[in-house]
Amino acid sequence: MIVTVTMNPSVDISYQLGKLVINDVNRVENVSKTAGGKGLNVSRVAKQLGSNVLATGIIGGTIGEFIQEQLDQQKIQHDFYQTTKESRNCIAILHEDNQTEILEAGPTLSEWEENEFLKHFANILRDESVSVITISGSLPKGLSPGCYEKMIMQANEKDIPLVLDTSGEPFQRVLEATDSKPTVIKPNISELSALEGKTLSGNLNDLKAVLEGTRYQGIEWIIVSMGSKGAFAKHNDWYYRVEVPKIEAVSPVGSGDATVAGIAAALESKCADEELLKMAMTAGVLNTLESKTGQINRENYDFYYRQIQVTRI
């Protein structure tokens, strides 16, 4: 079973307008509301890939109830830590080929709530069916930057592979730690550039030199996503270039989350290197062909899987 962690989930509300008029009334006919957050996107795609999934994290209030109801409708198991504080809404206004986003910060949580969630998470990991963990996205305000580091330590104590997809200070804390390394990290090229403090163009020799740095030691898999250029990956001492087919993308939003789902499903199946990378990138490609975030068409899987090219360097 794959456990997906979303610490700051949301209800993603999409308003479709022909034109956005500032300082006036805008009436919306087409509205969609989706249980959102990067980890929940991972949950949906992992389930569509055929994995048994359990979603967890922290939720609260009527928004939290809506998220759980929608997961029930999608037949995705969940076991969240419940807080009395309201979860957040994230609004996207689609207008004139533009997308304007209004993102709530979400609840401010306490040190006590962090400790209680860590107990909740530890209890989930007692289930011997847990095979892989994914942690995606940001932490809510109030939680310590080392929260993910603590969760990784719990997973390592149980010898459960863990995929981390985050950024900022929590990511830096994990990379600087010596005893709490995740199994997989999946930065995109922009996130890696920000982390290194320099612009990385995607040159393979430059990327190889970066990934040989001290902060990345002890991480089994590093998969750097590069959008339409595919990915560059390091597995222990081996390096890989991954090329994806040219496609007419409908929406790239959530493709990184779909890639994480593919990685997790491949880890669960104990796939060889090439198969893991092809499975991960196929899931990402399939998501770009859909208008809904965290959605793939499983019928197209084999067609695109065959077009992914993996070259060992």
Site of tokens 């890939």: 49
Element (DSSP H or E) covering residue 156: helix 147-157
Is residue 72 exposed (0-12), middle (13-18) or buried (19+ Cβ within 10 Å)?
exposed
d(CA 171, CA 249): 29
- Which of the residues are catalytic? 257
Write out the two tokens for 147.
Answer: 């929260």
Which stretches of 74-110 are DSSP H helices? none
**Cα atoms in the Cβ-side hemisphere of radius 13 Å centred on 79:** 13
Number of Cβ within 10 Å of residue 309's Cβ equals: 15
Compute φ and ψ for 23, nearest 5 degrees: 60, 35
Residue 284: burial class (beta carbons within 10 Å; 0-12, 13-18, 19+) = buried
Strand runs labelled E in the chain: 2-6, 10-17, 30-36, 53-60, 77-78, 81-83, 88-95, 98-103, 132-136, 162-165, 184-185, 221-225, 231-235, 238-243, 309-312
Q: Token pair of 25, please? A: 């009334």
H helices of 55-124, in order, are 61-73, 111-124
Sign of the Cα torsion 268, 271, 277, 278 reads negative
Q: CA separation (Å) from 214 to 190, 206, 209?
A: 20, 15, 11
